[in-house]
Amino acid sequence: MTHARKRGIFWGVLGVLTVLCPLCLSNVHRLAAQPSSDISPRWRIANEPPGNPQTATEAPASFNPNNYNNGLLSDTDFQQDKVSFETVETVADGLGPTYNATSCCECHGNVITGGDSQVTEVRSVRLTAKGYFASLGGSIIQARATFPDIVEHVGPTDTIRAQRKSTPVLGDGFVECIANNTLLALSQAQPAVMRGLPAIVPVLEADITPMTMQNFTLSNAVRIGRFGWKCQHASLVSFASDAYLNEMGITNPLFPTENLSDGRLVDHTTAYDPVADPEDNGTDIQAFAAFMRATDTPARGPITSSVTRGETLFTQIGCAVCHTPTIVTAPAGTLINAGAFTVPTSLGNKNIHPYSDFLLHDIGTGDGIPIQPTPDFTYTANVMRTAPLWGLRTRNRLFHDAQPLTLTEAIQRHKAQALAVAANYNRLTATQKQSVLDFLNSL
Ligand code: HEC
Ligand code: HEC
């Protein structure tokens, strides 16, 4: 349990049906054709109108540890929900039996609560003639457990393995409020060889069927994903619910079933878990989502003349094709998340500077693990989300696998769809390269 005040829980929001946008769907279908895909037109992506660049105002940006509430919540509520995000859970609260860490903040805390961390986690799947299959206990191999005999291990036949680093959640309320139409338009505007794929994912709180990792499939309640290295979620309530179970082992209304440990049942019907499911009644999930939605975007460092020159070069050589400098969020009042959320005033029609298109690209780093090992998501196995570069100066390990340790190494690792742009970078003079690095270090 966290110390969050009890909130009115509104799990029942359903069914406001998405408006079929045939144009968008045909685009998705066509775009998806590039890495082999079978995104079917039967999934309806809501027509979420874009914001207006003429009237949009700047989203607040800060790394101020004392106050980074963007205005969505009262300061008291913000502090309470932040405490929920920081609270260390125990076995009596439902932690485990298999888990990765004891609080959200343990992996999302640099340099303030909601930032990222060096923590990586292990995923594994296997590929057979019949397609991708998750490992026995799910594709995340939890690093810790509450008993010695149930710590998970990668199975010898699960030969596709990956490390995935924690991503920051600061400013993600604004990202959630980017309209589907905006992401599709970004994709459309990209040259064909560099075009990003939108990930189409379920919005769990807009669907009536509680999810398990076994039935994480597409239904009518879908939206374009934007969170996680594979854009595997479109809503912060969905992500928080998934993380509470898969990172901390705490079952909740959207993920009511405890994970298996290497295929073995370890839930409250066994001696491994003293707490009945769901271990959270939804209160904590709502607090996590509210906190994330209420955070400011990451603030820039000092802008020198070299930084300004570097930003111009960044755009001129093509980095900005994927690392989109400015996006306007949908207008306040827009119904998003397949009907489960309405864009609030504090998040609507705001300019944000994420330096990401929130689309999936093949830059030669795809880790071979799809969003979920089901046919719906096979097309996501070898593409990665354009890493948002806001807050970059707070990270000293880069990419999904935390392998590049310098910006130059990161740039040199851009191949495939980004090969020509990386070559443009390599043709710059030493001074110009330094300006691009200065710019990146100002983010
Ligand atoms: C053990 C470390 C760990 C813990 C604990 C953890 N996370 Fe995460 N989080 C991650 C990793 C790793 C990713 C990237 C996952 C991926 O895409 O494969 C992530 C991604 C996210 C994202 C997506 C952010 C973005 O913009 O891409 C959200 C939102 C999030 N976590 C919320 C939470 C919440 C809420 C909690 C607490 C219930 C939590 N996380 C606990 C490691 C953790
Ligand atoms: C075709 C799209 C594309 C282009 C063009 C592109 N990038 Fe990227 N960039 C990505 C993707 C995708 C990732 C994440 C890769 C991963 O983690 O496997 C990424 C990651 C990064 C990262 C690491 C960020 C982090 O937090 O880990 C940096 C830095 C970066 N890019 C800088 C650049 C620069 C500078 C250029 C221009 C020379 C550029 N990129 C061009 C798609 C692109």
Q: Residue 201 phi/psi, 5° resolution?
A: -135, 155
Does any domain span residue 4?
no
For residue range 1-34, what is the model confidence (pLDDT) as tens digits? Answer: 444 333 333 222 222 222 223 223 333 333 333 3
Does any domain span residue 7?
no
Q: Is 340 in the pocket of ligand 2 (CB under 6 A)?
A: no
* pLDDT given for residue 433 in this prediction: 98
* pLDDT given for residue 137 in this prediction: 86
Q: Is 230 in the pocket of ligand 2 (CB under 6 A)?
A: no
What's the whole-number mean pLDDT along residues 161-190?
98
Q: What is the CA radius of gyration of the chain?
A: 21
Best mutation site among 414, 415, 419, 428 for ligand 2 pocket (most ligand atoms within 8 Å of CB): 414
Does any domain span residue 11?
no
What's the whole-number mean pLDDT along residues 80-86?
98
Number of domains in the chain: 1
Which-ligand-closest: CA of 230? 1
Q: At residue 215, does pLDDT exceed 80? A: no
Q: At residue 432, does pLDDT exceed 50? A: yes
**pTM of structure:** 0.92
Q: Give the C-alpha separation, 10 to 255, whole Å.
A: 16
What's the whole-number mean pLDDT along residues 317-321?
98
Does any domain span residue 5?
no
**DSSP 8-state class, residue 220:** S
For residue range 321-358, what is the model confidence (pLDDT) as tens digits? Answer: 999 999 999 999 999 999 999 999 999 999 999 999 99
Per-residue burial over 345-354, b = 16 or more CB atoms within 10 Å of its CB, e = otherwise: ebbbbbbbbb
**Per-residue CA distances from 272 to 92, 253, 278, 406 (Å):** 12, 21, 15, 43
**Residue 130 burial by Cβ neighbours in a 10 Å radius (0-12, 13-18, 19+):** exposed
Domain that includes residue 140, residue range? 22-54+68-440
Q: Is 360 in the pocket of ligand 2 (CB under 6 A)?
A: no
Indicate which residue's Cα is closest to atom 11 of ligand 1: 166
Q: Residue 387 phi/psi, 5° resolution?
A: -65, 125
Q: Give the C-alpha separation, 363 to 194, whole Å.
A: 9
Indicate which residue's Cα is closest to atom 43 of ligand 1: 107
Pocket of ligand 1 (CB under 6 A): 100-101, 104, 106-108, 119, 121, 164-167, 169, 172, 227-230, 236, 239-240, 243-244, 247-248, 288, 292
- Does residue 283 sit in helix, strand or coil? helix
Calculate how far, in angstroms, residue 289's C-alpha sits from the geometric centre of ligand 2: 27
Q: Give the C-alpha separation, 201 to 188, whole Å.
A: 19
**What is the rounded end-to-end Cα distance, in angstroms, of the chain?**
36
* pLDDT given for residue 431 in this prediction: 98
Does any domain span residue 96?
yes
Does any domain span residue 352?
yes
Q: Give the C-alpha separation, 350 to 53, whole Å.
A: 9
Does any domain span residue 17?
no
* pLDDT given for residue 45 in this prediction: 86
What's the whole-number mean pLDDT along residues 386-398?
98
Calculate how far, in angstroms, residue 277's C-alpha sits from the geometric centre of ligand 1: 22
Average pLDDT, whole number, for the chain?
90
What's the whole-number mean pLDDT along residues 78-97?
98
Calculate how far, in angstroms, residue 87's C-alpha sits from the geometric centre of ligand 1: 15
Q: Is 407 in the pocket of ligand 2 (CB under 6 A)?
A: yes
Indicate which residue's Cα is closest to atom 19 of ligand 1: 166
Does any domain span residue 9?
no
CB–CB of 151/145 below 8 Å? yes
